């Protein structure tokens, strides 16, 4: 199990995007990792006045949670050899004194070997579409992370390929497909099991069972690269045939 110990008991999400050029419309041999806060509610409505004419809301961001997600982002960058760059994304033109900035800067000072930058979220979205290879480890609050992770999933052909892992206190984790359970297509032979399988791979790596994780991941990637069997979202026809092909590659 990963030795990293979080600062508090809130949950954060780590979402590794699939690193295969055959799945990327931009043919980028690159893998992005996101660290974002997962403590909810992210936006809490305080009160509403004047009927439907006015609403007020407050974003709750704490120092403890911000330190925790920053700590994990730098831990992940170092543990996985991603020391090229760690970027923090939000809207500095509006929130210059946001606690997230101070916490990320504080942790960055402890890791001088990792390049740290702060980028406006608007520009981040544009540059991800134009040149995703510019990015490495991305750190952001939950709302921005939710939006950007979906954008990156679109660059590699959809949420059906994207796994995630919620890292809890004491190294406890819960891996899951980013898109959820997709009940609307259950039993129709349409679902892409890749995201869930890669989430299982993430769990195995968290438990340091890297050999088993490599076997499953390679079987998935080889099946997709082969192109004979794919799911509907990857211009294929059958979830069942795709799954059987992965099993055959194990």
Q: How does pLDDT run across 89-103, given as a tens digit for each residue? A: 555 544 555 667 788
Q: 8 pLDDT band (50/70/90 cuts)?
A: very low
Is the confidence at residue 26, as pLDDT, over 60? no
Taking CB atoms within 8 Å and a gap of at least 24, the contacts of 222-227 are 222/249, 223/249, 224/20, 224/22, 224/23, 224/194, 225/20, 225/22
pLDDT score of 118 more than 70: yes
Query: Using N-to-C axis directions, what is the helix angle for 239-249 and 210-226, rounded to 10°?
Result: 130
Which tokens belong to 115? 């390049």
* Higher pLDDT, residue 202 or 135: 202
Q: Is the pLDDT of residue 119 over 90?
A: no
Q: Where are the beta strands (DSSP E) in the chain?
A: 12-16, 33-37, 43-49, 54-59, 86-90, 116-120, 137-140, 163-167, 173-177
> Taking all residues of the chain, what is their mean pLDDT, rounded to a whole number?
77
Average pLDDT over residues 71-92: 73
pTM (two decimals): 0.74
* Band (81; pLDDT cuts 50, 70, 90): confident
Would you place residue 33 in the very low, low, confident or very high pLDDT band (cuts 50, 70, 90)? low
Is 211 within 8 Å of 250 (Cβ atoms)?
no
Q: Which of 134-138, 161-165, 166-170 has the lowest mean pLDDT?
A: 166-170
Percent of the chain with pLDDT over 90: 28
């Amino acid at each position: 199990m990963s030795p990293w110990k979080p600062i508090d008991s809130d949950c954060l999400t780590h979402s590794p995007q699939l690193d295969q050029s055959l799945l990327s419309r931009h043919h980028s041999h690159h893998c992005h990792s996101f660290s974002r806060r997962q403590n909810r509610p992210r936006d809490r409505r305080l009160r509403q006045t004047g009927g439907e004419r006015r609403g007020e809301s407050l974003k709750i961001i704490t120092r403890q949670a911000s330190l925790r997600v920053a700590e994990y982002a730098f831990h992940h960058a170092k543990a996985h050899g991603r020391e090229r760059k760690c970027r923090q994304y939000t809207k500095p033109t509006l929130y210059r004194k946001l606690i997230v900035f101070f916490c990320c800067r504080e942790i960055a000072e402890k890791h001088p070997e990792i390049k740290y930058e702060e980028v406006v979220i608007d520009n981040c979205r544009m540059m991800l579409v134009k040149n995703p290879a510019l990015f490495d480890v991305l750190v952001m609050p939950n709302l921005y992370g939710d939006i950007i992770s979906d954008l990156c999933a679109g660059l590699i052909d959809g949420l059906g390929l994207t796994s995630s892992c919620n890292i809890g206190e004491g190294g406890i984790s819960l891996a899951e497909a980013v898109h959820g359970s997709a009940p609307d297509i259950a039993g129709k032979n349409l679902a892409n099991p890749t995201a869930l399988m890669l989430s299982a791979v993430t769990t195995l790596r968290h438990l340091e069972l890297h050999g088993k994780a490599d076997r499953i991941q390679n079987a998935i990637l080889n099946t997709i690269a082969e192109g004979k069997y794919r799911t509907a979202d990857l211009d294929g026809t059958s979830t069942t045939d795709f799954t059987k092909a992965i099993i055959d590659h194990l």
